[in-house]
Structure 1
Amino acid sequence: MHKKFRIRFGFSCSDNRKSKTCPELCRRIENLKWGGIFAIALTFAFGGVAAHAQQRPKVARIGILRVDGSTSPAAMEAINDLKRGLRNLGYVEGQNINFEIRLAENKLERLPTLAAELVQLKLDAIVTGGPQATKATKEATNTIPIVMGRMDDVVEHGLVTSLARPGGNVTGLSFQTGELSGKWLDLLKEALPKLTRVAALWDTTGTAGQLRTVEAAARSMGLHLAVSKVAGLKDFDFVFDGIRKERMEGLIILASPVFTGQRERLAELAAKHNLPAIYYHEGFAQAGGLLAYGPKQSEFSWHRAAIFVDKILKGAKPADLPVEQPTKFDFIINLKTAKQIGVTIPPNVLARADRVIR
């Protein structure tokens, strides 16, 4: 009485083996099945590539701008120090960081053009050497972070609002020559007790604060001070001839990135004219200068600028990063030069030296 109904879901090629259309239909279904599998595989494959591309770390791009040139030991030393500092922080050149380097070859008029080139590259940060390079970069951009590799008197140069809170887009390392220049004269006088006439070599693009301090110190010590102004490299020979003609007995080289880049030449000229000189950077003593007093190079050089770059790459703002100042200073005496120019350094002064080059 009751009829049974059987409902079948799906389809099997065995349902109607005698049908002519069955094999063709089966083939179509099989093709659709494999096509779907292939599409899913492609989705996973390309999805994986896309995910890998998204996970690939960004390559940081850092600019470097300096006054000096590729033949300057100071330039190569600074750039290598920066790269070493960044390597220590996990940055490997060619993998997760690259550099764009511009050197003015001691031609200050080239700095604005070189700074503009770097700004157009839309870099993550620009590391600068000296106030001239920093000023040129700051005038070219107020958005790209600028890190001072090591320079003098950043506040007096008007590059930051204060050392504690720089404001703007500039931060980095700076030492205050106004506090050091009096010390340079003190040490020179102690090394040359009979000193009465002293010259100061001053780069006119540098700060006047260090000059004012050394002038005040000379007056208080009863010394005759003659200031020799330098506006370019071509002035060096002429200036040294004048210093010797005026019978100067000693020389202070005031801080300048132009002078730093020419430390071998300046040390050579001082020795040539038998002028006992004191410098602000230990590199001068290593190059043949008699005396050097300044921030300890191993703790206050471009490798420290790497820390600022790292913080900026991780999201910090230059305006909120206090300018770093040196806390340790080295006094270096080159006895080889002393012997060459006929100067005897008093034993009490030798005892105060952090390093003696023999």
Structure 2
Amino acid sequence: MKTPQFIVDLTFGNFVKGLSEFGYEQGRNIDIIRRTDIFRDRVPSIQEMVALLKPDIIAAPATLEAVAARKATSTIPIVCAALADAVHLGLIASEARPGGNVTGIEPYIAGLPTKQIEIAREIAPKARRVGLLTNMNDPKGPPQVGDLTAACGAMSLSVVEADASTARDIPDALAALANEEVDVAVVLQTNLLLNMSEQIGTIALEKRLPTVFGYREHVIHGGLVSYGVDLRWCYRRCGYFVDKILRGTQPGDLPIEFPSQLWLAVNLKTAKALGVAVREGLLARADEVID
């Protein structure tokens, strides 16, 4: 039996930890081909890799890469660590029975936008205007905007949106929110905005914008507070899917999973710089406090 081989381009360390939990060790009983050069022109580069390498499994970090991988192959199993809007995009038939060659983890939890807006109100009790830094060309973007807007409406908060389709758009989008004098800004959970965490944190601080995020990685890079799925868990959990597939389970028979726990992170250094008084109740609930 040949050593199972698959392409991986996600948060590598946590993914490897997840594989080790099921007894897999690079070079001994599994061959992980890590590729980080596929983002410039996703679909052709993935198609080229699949044709050249013929891997047993493709591990994708998020929806955009899963879409590109699915265009490249309808037979090789694809495991995605952060899968969103998969039914609408035609990647799966349903969450309970994916049915094709794609499976993985859905990190976007129902009700999360309402909780994020509640946290925004905790850090800015007098807030009346909420800014949304959006990224609408990512499949994960539009559903979040709808849910966040509805949550704000239920709390009688007005919403100001500023979109960033590329990294170059981020400074102007944040400047637009600051010019609109929003009281707090919520940053969507998308690949682009996650990858640009450091830039967003720096500019938000310069513009004196209190920020709420879905991923702790933003808070690590200077964001104020985050509440959402712990991506480290998502990447580790991919090991379970890989193990099941290598043992003979078809990806279409592996239900999409949802994280059962959410992660609250607070950056006190940023709070002090912004002059934001973080309530003791919020700090007491935090899973991670950076000071």
Fold conserved between structures, TM > 0.5: yes
State how 1:1-358 maps to structure 2 within 5 Å.
Answer: 57-65=1-9, 78-104=11-37, 107=40, 110-120=41-51, 121-177=53-109, 179-206=111-138, 207=140, 208-297=142-231, 300-358=233-291
Distance in 1, matches of 2:97 and 2:42, equals: 27
Matched letter for residue 324 of structure 1: E
Distance in 1, matches of 2:114 and 2:225, equals: 15
Q: What is the TM-score of this pair, normalised by structure 2?
A: 0.93
Q: In angstroms, what is the RMSD of aligned CA positions?
A: 1.8
Cα distance, 1:95–1:354 mapped onto 2, change above 3 Å: closer
The alignment of Structure 1 onto Structure 2 pairs a total of residues equal to: 288
SS of residue paired to 2:264 = strand
Alignment partner, residue 40 of structure 1: none
For residues 207-241 of structure 1, what are the alpha-carbon distances to aligned partners after superposition, in whole Å with 9 as ceiling and x for unaligned?
31111111111112111111111111110111111
For residues 299-326 of structure 1, what are the alpha-carbon distances to aligned partners after superposition, in whole Å with 9 as ceiling and x for unaligned?
x221110111111111110000011111
Matched letter for residue 294 of structure 1: G
Matched letter for residue 190 of structure 1: E
* Aligned-pair CA distance for 1:275: 0.6
Conserved? CA contact 2:19–2:239, under 8 Å: yes
List 4+ stretches of structure 1 deviating above 4 A: none
Cα distance, 1:187–1:211 mapped onto 2, change above 3 Å: same
Alignment partner, residue 16 of structure 1: none
Matched letter for residue 196 of structure 1: R
Conserved? CA contact 2:161–2:177, under 8 Å: no
Distance in 2, matches of 1:135 and 1:331, equals: 30
Distance in 2, matches of 1:105 and 1:292, equals: 29
Cα distance, 1:151–1:261 mapped onto 2, change above 3 Å: farther
Alignment partner, residue 52 of structure 1: none
Conserved? CA contact 2:63–2:82, under 8 Å: no
Distance in 2, matches of 1:85 and 1:177, equals: 22
Distance in 2, matches of 1:106 and 1:228, equals: 24
Conserved? CA contact 1:296–1:330, under 8 Å: yes
Q: Based on CA coordinates, which of the two structures has the bigger radius of gyration?
A: 1
* Aligned-pair CA distance for 1:135: 0.6
Conserved? CA contact 2:38–2:45, under 8 Å: no
Give ranges in structure 1 of 5+ residues lacking alignment: 1-56, 66-74
SS of residue paired to 1:117 = helix
* Aligned-pair CA distance for 1:177: 4.8
Give ranges in structure 2 of 5+ residues lacking alignment: none
Conserved? CA contact 1:119–1:140, under 8 Å: yes
Q: What is the TM-score of this pair, normalised by structure 1?
A: 0.76
Cα distance, 1:106–1:179 mapped onto 2, change above 3 Å: farther
Conserved? CA contact 1:131–1:157, under 8 Å: no
SS of residue paired to 1:222 = coil
Distance in 2, matches of 1:101 and 1:113, equals: 17
SS of residue paired to 2:105 = strand
Cα distance, 1:156–1:311 mapped onto 2, change above 3 Å: same
Conserved? CA contact 1:178–1:209, under 8 Å: no
Cα distance, 1:106–1:187 mapped onto 2, change above 3 Å: farther
Matched letter for residue 164 of structure 2: V
* Aligned-pair CA distance for 1:176: 2.4
SS of residue paired to 1:86 = helix
* Aligned-pair CA distance for 1:272: 1.6
Distance in 1, matches of 2:263 and 2:15, equals: 21
Question: Identity over the aligned pairs, expressed in percent?
Answer: 32
